[in-house]
Amino acid sequence: MDQRANAATHGDVSSVLIVDDHPLYRDALASAIQLVFPNAEIAQTETLSEAMGAIEDGVRPDLVMFDLKLPDVCGISGFLSLRDQLPTTPILVISALASVELVQTLMREGAVGFLPKETSAQHLKEVLSQVGAGQTYVPAAYRSAGRSSDISAQNEPMHPRLAALTPQQRKIMKLICAGKANKQIAYELSLAEATVKAHITALLRRLGVRNRTQAAVLVESEGPAQLADSGDPEAQAFLSR
C-alpha cells in the first residue's frame, strides 16, 4: 500500500473537510463527525474545485471525506489530485460506486479507507473512530484477501430469478436488503422516486414475489453475494482516471 495511506491521524481529529455534492448527505456526515469528534471544525464543499480553493485559502483538515462522483471529476483523477494536494492527510472515500478492483486501486493510491454510501450511521461512527485512531478501513467484501472467495461466489450458479435482474435492479435490491426506503434508494442512486418504484415493480415481477419482504427473503436465502456486481461498468469507468 502507498505509504501515504499510513499517514492517518492519531488521537482526536480537530478539522474535517467533506467533499460531496449532495447537501443532505453532507449534513448527515457532518452530524456523524460531530458525535465522534465534538470539537472538530467541519468544512463542506460540493466540488473538487471548491475543495482545492478551500485548501488554497488555508484549510488544513486532519481528515477528508471524499465522494468519487462529483460534477467536476472524471474517474479517480479527483481523488488523485486531492491526495497530491494533501499528501499526509487521510482521505476516506465514501461512494455509491463500488467494486473490488476500484476499492483496491484507491487503497493502493493512498486512500485511508472506503465506505459504501449505504453504510448505516452507527457503522459510519465506528469507522470514523477507527480512522481517527490511525487505522485504515475497507469492508470485508472489498478486501483483496476476499477476492478469490468473491470470484468463487460469482462462479457459483446463480438463482435463475436473480440472474434475470438488470444491474440497476440488483443495486436497488441490495439497498432493499439493507432496509432502505424508496426515497433513500432514490437519493443513493440519484434516481427519481417514481423511477425507483418502477424498477421495484419490475424486479418483484422477475423474482416472482409480491413484496419487498419476500424479495429480501429470497435474496438472503441465496446469499447476498449473488447480487455482487464487481463488473459494474460505471465503477470500472472510474479506473480510467
- The confidence score (pLDDT) of residue 10 equals 41
Largest CA distance in the chain: 57
User: How far apart are alpha carbons 101 and 235 in whole angstroms?
Assistant: 9
pLDDT mean for each 10 residues of the chain (241 residues): 41 89 93 94 96 94 94 83 92 87 88 90 91 91 57 47 77 84 88 89 89 84 56 57 51
What is the reported pLDDT for 88? 92
CATH 3.40.50.2300 in the chain, residue ranges? 3-145
CATH 1.10.10.10 segments of the chain: 155-236
Please state, in angstroms and as integers, the Cα–Cα distance from residue 126 to each residue in 19, 35, 47, 52, following that order.
20, 11, 26, 28
- pLDDT value of position 104: 87
Yes or no: domain 155-236 corresponds to CATH 1.10.10.10: yes
Looking at domain 3-145, which of 3.30.450.20, 3.40.50.2300, 3.40.50.1980, 3.20.20.70 is its CATH number?
Answer: 3.40.50.2300
